[in-house]
Amino acid sequence: MELTHGDSLRRVLQAVSLILASTVLSELVSAAAAITRADIPEGFVFGAGTSAYQAIRSTMRLEMWLRTSITSTRHVSDFLKMLDDFTGYADVCFSSFGDRVKQWTTVNEANIEPIGGYDQGYLPPRRCSYEGGLDSHCWPIWYESETEKPEDREAAARANDFSIGWFMHPLVYGDYPPVMRRNVGSRLPELTPDEPARVRGSFDFVGNNQYSAILVEADLSQLKRKLRDYYGDIAAKFVTPPFQSSRNQLRSREGEAPWALSKMLEHLRTKYGNPPVVIYENGEFLYDDEFRSHFLQVYIEAALSSIRNGSDVCGYFMWSFLDVFEILFAYCRFRFGLFGVNFGDEQRTRYARNSARWYASFLHGGELRPVATGGDRTGFYSE
């Protein structure tokens, strides 16, 4: 086939573009491989979460699953009693461990309890209610627009206000986000005159459990429903479920979303005054231990990139130190651990996965992305 001068020039340009892209990719991979703990700012804390009932780390959680609703006087009474019980529990923890543990968090994933326990009904106490109230939070999911349509971008922003702003807006500005006030209306608690000042700034750092993103599209028709739940007030349709992060794709090697962590941290930096952030949970539940190592690596890279962009990230704890009893799936489905547990053995025999060896090596000065030596890469990272 005869080529014209234009065809030849176009092919040369395409070849040059491929070479440049390959060079840039090679440099990025090389830079990632060269990252060591020495690149992380001094004072940054690494760790791994474990379960006793749910989590104890070098910082400690005053662990409770929130059991509250504002739908009746009895539930308000239960909530006030819970506050007294929690205060007593906290006092015991502080007096017993305060000389050794200096950083504490309170309710774990407090958004999950009212949504799962009272809105959707898939968590205890399995009460579905369209009139439930809102409280505090530790698992802020990042919502991303499925398209560039203005209405879908607005839906993603609205979902992030309902997820992140639900907790951060009162803590920083003293009230719930305007979109929540508008869409939820009288079902959203009104703050008393003195509460905004008491709530504003009442935290030392933000705990972030980061696993994935959810893609959304606008669905304003939900606002026309007389009875709406939490998701109806968001007025968005979820294109992907949690832990998927991309359309038409099950959780897989392409399913991680470190970009969601980057966007989350940038959102906190620009909208909420750049608070100190500790990534309390981040991990992979598949049996593919090679992917677990990869998953942690790309998220640590994202955290470091955000730090270099000005975010005040001061800690990272992967989930989890060892396989644990998961609140939804017990022992049968999730395997997050750096250390595996043989649940078929009465002694619950434990063994180190290669991801544990990699993480320990990185924390002791090794490269973030070490090159496998001897044999194939799968064997290096396998169970």
Run of H or E including 213: strand 213-218
Q: Is 281 a catalytic residue?
A: yes
The DSSP 8-state label assigned to residue 233 in this structure reads: H
Distance CA 116, CA 33 (A): 40
Dist CA 245 CA 250 (whole Å): 9
Q: Which amino acid is at 340?
A: G
Can you tell me whether residue 113 is helix, strand or coil? helix
CB 255 within 8 A of CB 288: no
| Helical (H) or strand (E) element with 302 | helix 289-308
Q: Indicate which residue of 109, 113, 144, 146 is catalytic.
A: 109
Active site residue 109: yes
Catalytic site residue from 113, 146, 281, 301? 281
According to DSSP, residue 277 is labeled: E
Q: Which two tokens stand for residue 68?
A: 């509250």
Kind and range of the H or E element at 60? Answer: strand 60-61
Residues with a catalytic annotation lie at 109, 281
